[in-house]
Copies of this chain bind each other. A is one copy, B any other.
Amino acid sequence: MKSSVEKWGPFEAAFQGPGDGNPFVDVTLDVAFSRENRTVLAPGFYDGDGVYRVRFMPDTEGEWTYETRSNVVALNGVTGAFRCGPPSSGNHGPVRVRNRWHFAYADGAPYFPFGTTCYAWTHQPLDVQRQTLATMRPSGFNKLRMAVFPKHYTFNENEPLHDIYERGRDGALDFDRPNPIAFRHFETQVAALGEMGIEADVIIFHPYDRWGYCTMSAEQDDRYVRYLVARLAAHRNVWWSLANEYDFLIDVKPVAKWDRFFHIIEENDPARHLKSIHNGEETMNFDHRKPWVDHVCIQNWNVKRTTAWRNDWGKPIVNDELEYEGDISLAWGNITAQELVHRFWVTMTRGGYAGHGECYAHPQDLLWWAKGGVLHGESSRRIAFLRSIIEEDVVNGLTPAPDEWPWQRVSMAGDGEVRFIYLGEHQPGLWIAGLPTDDRPCEVDVIDAWNMTVTPAKRVPRPSFPKLRQRGGALRDPQPLASFAIELPSKPYQAIRIRPPRKGAG
Which chain A residues (218-254) contact chain B, with CB distance < 8 Å? 247-252
Are B251 and A329 in touch, CB under 8 angstroms?
no
A339: chain B residues within 8 A (beta carbon): 425, 492
Give the residues in chain B near A252, CB-CB below 8 Å. Answer: 473
Q: Smallest CB-CB separation from A486: which chain B residue?
A: B329
A415 at the interface (CB under 8 A from B): no
Per the 8 Å Cβ criterion, residues 381-433 of A in contact with B are 405-406, 408-410, 425-433
A32 nearest CB across to chain B (Å): 41
Least Cβ–Cβ distance between A87 and chain B, in angstroms: 43
Chain B neighbourhood of A335, CB < 8 A: 425-427
Contact B323 A469 (CB under 8 A): no
Tell me, yes or no, whether A125 is within 8 Å of chain B by CB.
no
- Are B468 and A153 closer than 8 Å at their CB atoms? yes
From A78-86, A175-183, A208-216, A263-271, the one touching the partner chain is A208-216
Contact B428 A329 (CB under 8 A): yes
- In the complex, whether A334 has a CB less than 8 A from a CB of chain B is yes
Tell me, rounded to whole Å, the shortest Cβ–Cβ distance linking A383 to chain B: 17
Q: How far is the CA of A48 from the CA of B128 in the complex (A)?
A: 87
Determine if A470 is an interface residue (Cβ-Cβ < 8 Å).
yes
Does B329 contact A432, Cβ atoms closer than 8 Å? yes
Q: Which residue of B lies closest to A282 (CB)?
A: B408
Question: Would you call A479 an interface residue if the criterion is a C-beta within 8 Å of the partner chain's C-beta atoms?
Answer: yes
Cα of A330 to Cα of B338 in the assembled complex, Å: 23
| Among A247, A410, A429, residue most surrounded by chain B Cβ atoms (within 10 Å) | A429
Q: Name the one of B153, B251, B331, B479 contacting A330, with C-beta atoms under 8 angstroms.
A: B479
Q: Does A332 contact B (CB under 8 A)?
A: yes
Distance between Cα atoms of A490 and B432 in the complex (Å): 37
In whole angstroms, what is the CA distance A330 to B423 when docked?
11
Q: Provide the bound-state CA to CA distance between A427 and B323, in Å.
A: 12
Decide if A472 is an interface residue (CB 8 Å cutoff).
yes
Chain B residues within 8 Å of A468, by CB: 152-154, 207-208
Q: How far is the CA of A339 from the CA of B329 in the complex (A)?
A: 23
Q: Is the CB of A154 within 8 A of B478?
A: yes
Please report the C-alpha to C-alpha distance between residue A433 and residue B252 in the assembled complex, in whole angstroms. Answer: 29
User: Among the listed B251, B328, B463, B469, which residue makes an inter-chain contact with A209, where contact means beta carbons less than 8 Å apart?
Assistant: B469
Interface residues of A (CB under 8 A from B): 152-154, 157, 207-210, 214-215, 247-252, 282, 301-302, 304, 323, 327-332, 334-336, 338-339, 361, 405-406, 408-410, 425-433, 463, 465-466, 468-473, 478-479, 485, 490-492
